Amino acid sequence: MLRRTSFMTVAVGVTALFVTMSLPGGVASAATATFAPVADTYVDNSTTGTNFGTSGQLGVDNSPVKRMFLRFTVSGVSGAISSVKLRVHTDDVSGSESGSGGVFRGMSSTTWSETATTWNNQPSIDGATLGTLGSVARNQWYEVDVTSYVTGNGAYSFGVTSTSTNGADYDSRESGSGTAPQLVVTTGTGPSPSPSPSPSPPPGGDPVLVGAGDIATSGSGDTATAALLDSIPGTVFTLGDNVYDNGTASEFNTYYNPTWGRHKARTRPVPGNHDYNTSGATGYYGYFGASAGDPTKGYYSYDLGANWHVIVLNSNCSAVPCGTTSAQTTWLRADLAASTRPCTVAMWHHPRYTSGANHAPNSSVAPFVQALYDANADLILTGHNHQYERFAPINPANQLDNTRGIRHFVVGSGGASHYGFGTILANSEARNSDTYGVLKLTLHANAYTWQFVPESGRTYSDSGTTNCH
C-alpha cells in the first residue's frame, strides 16, 4: 500500500465523515470524525525477524505470542471531546474468532515504522490499559472506549496483547476502508457548551516568533517564504545559511535584502556555515549589525513577552568553539541560570538530530543540548538540512522524555532547494521535503503552539501545542 495514497484516502474520509447531529431544540449538537490508521502491524515471537506491515490482517495471541500495534493521527478536531471509540473488525476467515479479543493499551511511542517493526525491535506497550475485549466472533465489529487516552489532536498509538492461546485476527488498514480499524472521535455532546473556543488569539496577543533557515538564493523559494512573513507579525528568526553560497555582502544585498530583508528591523538572526564561508562571517555581521550580537561570538539572548527567554547560539564551532568548557557553553549555562522566565527556546544552525540524507546528526552541539536539558529548556530550532522535521520531546540521547524532554525542530525550509531524507530517526514525528515554509511559534504564558506555514499554493501543515516544563 502506498503510504501517500493512504494518507490522502484518510483525509478524504475524515472530511466525508465529519457529521453534525442537531438535537431537538437546537441547543446541543455533536460532531463525529472517523479516522483510519496511519500505520498498523503485528509482531510474532515464532518469527522474530519478520514484519507484517503490509498484511491485510492483524493478530493477537499468546501462543505464539502475537501483539498488534495501531497508530492514528487525530486532526481537525475542535471543541471538547466527549467520546472516542477504537473500532476493530474481525477477519472474515475461519479461526479469526477467539474467547479473548485482547487487552488494549496506550503507548508512548508514536514513531514506530509500519514496514520495519518486528518482534526483535518492537516498541514497548507502556501505557494505561484502556479496555479488554472478551469473546469475539468472525466478521464482526468490536469497540473499545479510549476517551481517557485520546484527548485532542495528535498522534496516538495502541498496543494490543492477548493472554489466550486461541488468538484473534482483525482486519488491517490494508484490508480496505470497509473493514479497516477506525478511531471515532465525538465532540460537543451534551446540552451546553457554546461553540468551540475561538481559535483567535486572546486579547493583547501572545508574542510570536516566526522564521526558518537556509534562505536566500538566486531561486524563488526565498521570495515565497518572505511573502509569508508579510502577513505574520512578531519577531523573525533565521536559522543560519541566510544567503548562498558564500555569505558575502554582495549576496546579502542581492538575494536576502529584497526578500527577507523587508523584515530586517524585526529579525534576530542565526549564523550558518555558508555565512562563515566569508571569513569571520563579515558579510553576515555587517548586514545585520547589532541585531546579530558580538561579531566575535554570534551568540546572544533576549526575552520575549513576560514569560519567554530566547537564546541564539553559534554552531560554527571551528570559528566559535562549542565544547563543554568553551566560552560559549559557559556563557550559555550562566545565561540559563540567570533567566527567570519559565519558558526557553534556543536556536542555532547545525541540528543535533536530523533524518536528513545530506548532513548527519551533529555531535559538536551536544554540549548546548545538555546545558539546555539541564536547565529545563523547552525548544530547540535548527536548520542545515533543507527540509522540515519535528521531533517529540527528547532527552539529550534522543530518547522520548515527556517530562523534561526538549522538542527539536529542523526548519531548513526557508528557500534553498530541498534535500531528501535518509533513515528516519526515532522520535521523528513530522517531516516534509517538498514545501518551502516558515515555522510560526505562538508563545503562550506557559506553553507554545507551533505551526508550519507553507508557501502559497502548498498544503503541507504541521501544528500542535505543548506546555512548558
Partner 1 sequence: MTSLRARLVVISLATVLLAGIALTYAVLAPAADAPASTALAGAGPRVQVLTNGLLSTVSRADPGGPREVTAVRCDRAHTGAATVACLTPVGALTATSLVVMDAALRPLKEIPLTGFPNRLRVSASGRMIAWTLFIDGHSYATNGFSTQTGILDTRTGRIVRSLEDFTITRDGRPYRNADVNFWGVTFAGDDNRFYATLSTGGRRSLVEGDMAAGTVRTLRDNVECPSLSPDGTRIAYKSAIGADPAKGWRLTVLHLGSGRTVPLAETRSVDDQPAWLDDQTIAYGLQTGDGTNNTWTVPADGGGAPTLLIPGANSPAVIGRDGA
The DSSP secondary-structure symbol of 216 reads: B
Q: Is residue 420 at the binding interface for partner 1, with CB under 8 A as the rule?
A: yes
Among positions 25, 49, 195, 204, the unique one binding partner 1 when judged by CB under 8 A:
49
Q: Is residue 118 at the binding interface for partner 1, with CB under 8 A as the rule?
A: yes
Q: Which residues lie below 8 Å from residue 208, measured CB to CB, with a gap of 6+?
A: 232, 233, 234, 235, 440, 441, 442, 443
Q: Is residue 423 at the binding interface for partner 1, with CB under 8 A as the rule?
A: yes
Rounded Cα distance, 272 and 245, in Å = 11
Q: Residues 124, 157: contact at Cβ < 8 Å?
A: no
Q: Which is nearer to partner 1, 34 or 433 (CB)?
A: 433
Q: Is residue 361 at the binding interface for partner 1, with CB under 8 A as the rule?
A: yes
Q: Is residue 3 at the binding interface for partner 1, with CB under 8 A as the rule?
A: yes
Q: Which three cell numbers stand for residue 139?
A: 466478521
Q: Is residue 247 at the binding interface for partner 1, with CB under 8 A as the rule?
A: no
Instruction: Return the amino acid letter for 65.
Output: V
Stretch that binds partner 1, among 132-140, 181-189, 340-348, 359-367 (CB under 8 A): 359-367
Nearest to 351 by CA among 413, 401, 290: 413
Among positions 91, 114, 206, 275, the unique one binding partner 1 when judged by CB under 8 A:
114
Q: Is residue 422 at the binding interface for partner 1, with CB under 8 A as the rule?
A: yes
Q: Is residue 115 at the binding interface for partner 1, with CB under 8 A as the rule?
A: yes
Instruction: Return the amino acid letter for 195.
Output: P
Stretch that binds partner 1, among 18-26, 85-93, 114-122, 161-169 (CB under 8 A): 114-122
Burial 163-177 (b: 16+ CB within 10 A, else e): ebeebbbbbbbbbee
Instruction: Return the amino acid letter for 306.
Output: A
Interface with partner 1 in residues 273-332 (CB under 8 A): none
Q: Is residue 220 at the binding interface for partner 1, with CB under 8 A as the rule?
A: no
Q: Is residue 176 at the binding interface for partner 1, with CB under 8 A as the rule?
A: no
Q: Which residues lie below 8 Å from residue 330, measured CB to CB, with a gap of 6+?
A: none
Q: Which three cell numbers stand for residue 24?
A: 431537538
Q: Which is nearer to partner 1, 159 or 393 (CB)?
A: 159
Stretch that binds partner 1, among 42-50, 225-233, 302-310, 446-454 (CB under 8 A): 42-50
Q: Which is nearer to partner 1, 46 or 148 (CB)?
A: 46
Q: Is residue 9 at the binding interface for partner 1, with CB under 8 A as the rule?
A: no
**Interface pattern 59-78 for partner 1 (x via CB under 8 A):** -----xx-------------
Instruction: Return the amino acid letter for 351.
Output: P
Q: Is residue 37 at the binding interface for partner 1, with CB under 8 A as the rule?
A: no
Burial-class residue 82 by CB neighbours within 10 Å (0-12, 13-18, 19+): middle
Tell the smallest beta-carbon distance from residue 9 to partner 1 (Å).
14
Give the number of other CB atoms < 10 A from CB of residue 410: 31
Tell the smallest beta-carbon distance from residue 49 to partner 1 (Å).
4
Q: Is residue 30 at the binding interface for partner 1, with CB under 8 A as the rule?
A: no
Rounded Cα distance, 463 and 451, in Å = 4
Q: Is residue 460 at the binding interface for partner 1, with CB under 8 A as the rule?
A: yes
Q: Is residue 29 at the binding interface for partner 1, with CB under 8 A as the rule?
A: no
* Sheet strand arrangement including 141-145: 19-22, 29-35, 182-187, 81-89, 141-145
Q: Is residue 452 at the binding interface for partner 1, with CB under 8 A as the rule?
A: no
DSSP string, 182-209: EEEEEES-SS---SPPP-SPPTT---EE
The DSSP secondary-structure symbol of 6 reads: H
Rounded to 5°, angle at Cα 77 from 29 and 380: 155
Stretch that binds partner 1, among 49-57, 146-154, 203-211, 329-337 (CB under 8 A): 49-57
Q: Is residue 395 at the binding interface for partner 1, with CB under 8 A as the rule?
A: no
Q: Is residue 50 at the binding interface for partner 1, with CB under 8 A as the rule?
A: yes
Tell the smallest beta-carbon distance from residue 131 to partner 1 (Å).
23
Tell the smallest beta-carbon distance from residue 430 to partner 1 (Å).
8
The DSSP secondary-structure symbol of 253 reads: I
Tell the smallest beta-carbon distance from residue 428 to partner 1 (Å).
8
Specify the pairing of strand 57-62 against strand 168-171.
antiparallel
Burial 309-341 (b: 16+ CB within 10 A, else e): bbbbbbbbbebbebeeeeebbebbbebbeebee
Nearest to 158 by CA among 88, 225, 235: 88
Tell the smallest beta-carbon distance from residue 387 to partner 1 (Å).
8
Q: Which is nearer to partner 1, 56 or 295 (CB)?
A: 56
The residues that touch partner 1, with contacts defined as CB under 8 A, are 1-4, 45-55, 64-65, 109, 113-116, 118-124, 245, 355, 357-358, 360-363, 366, 417, 419-424, 426, 430-435, 460
